[in-house]
Structure 1
Amino acid sequence: MKDRILLHGLRFFGRHGISAAERELGQVFKVDLKVTTSALGTAAANDALEETLDYVRLYELVRDVIQGPPRNLVETVAYDIIQRVFNTHASIEEVSCAVYKPAVSIPGKVDGSCIGVQLVRKRQTEKKASRQ
């Protein structure tokens, strides 16, 4: 069974993008985060906060990346968030991060005025990593 912590619809102002206007003006980015972990079952059974992942810390990680130094690509923003999440707790098995960019510089209308990317990464064990 896979247990997950979900953070949906997080919104932060950032200056990510390739164009000078995106960097200068910035915009609000939306992020959805899904963290698969083995820690939730024990925490739920024991009703113990110290045995689970701290979703406030996850929120802060997302905020720090979005509000931090500009990246050219939303793909890089999602990748950086995932790497930081993996560094928070050894029980994290998989992270899914979707980053949405509401103001897009493409001709025509985009339904909902939003584009985005979603990256999904599984934790690599040392054994797997050494084969690559």
Structure 2
Amino acid sequence: MPDLYGYSALIHLGHVASPERFELAIRAVDKTRRFWPGEIQLVVAIEEGRMQQWLDMPANCIFHAPEILQNVIDDYRRSGSLLIPDQNESAGNATLHALASGVPLDALNFRARHKNEVRPRHGDAFLGVGRARDRSN
């Protein structure tokens, strides 16, 4: 089971199963980590045997099979901590571009996903967001 329960929220960023989208997601995570005082982790659902050559293991990124992530996502959804970008755009393009451009995470609008199921598919990306804490040590 992935160790994601230490994060206060899981944000569904959409599909990143292409080199360009994955690079954009990594830029978004790196930029967000500069400004967010809590922990940030990119989690990507990857089907076994479908790893691409361009998918290396960058810092602050982990890969899990979609079926393994489902229980974690269901738990976050039930708790009201599974957040979806509040745009009329399911792939999360606007959110990824905003984060990669340095827009602070808390400046974006997200809504909790309570009732609708989110089924991770190959290439789906989620951002684990931890509570703010002192990182001076």
Structure (1 or 2) with the greater strand fraction:
1
- In our comparison, the structure showing a higher alpha carbon Rg is 1
Structures share a fold, TM > 0.5? no
More helix by share: 1
TM-score by length of 2: 0.25
**Which of structures 1 and 2 has the larger relative contact order (alpha carbons within 8 angstroms, sep 6+)?**
2
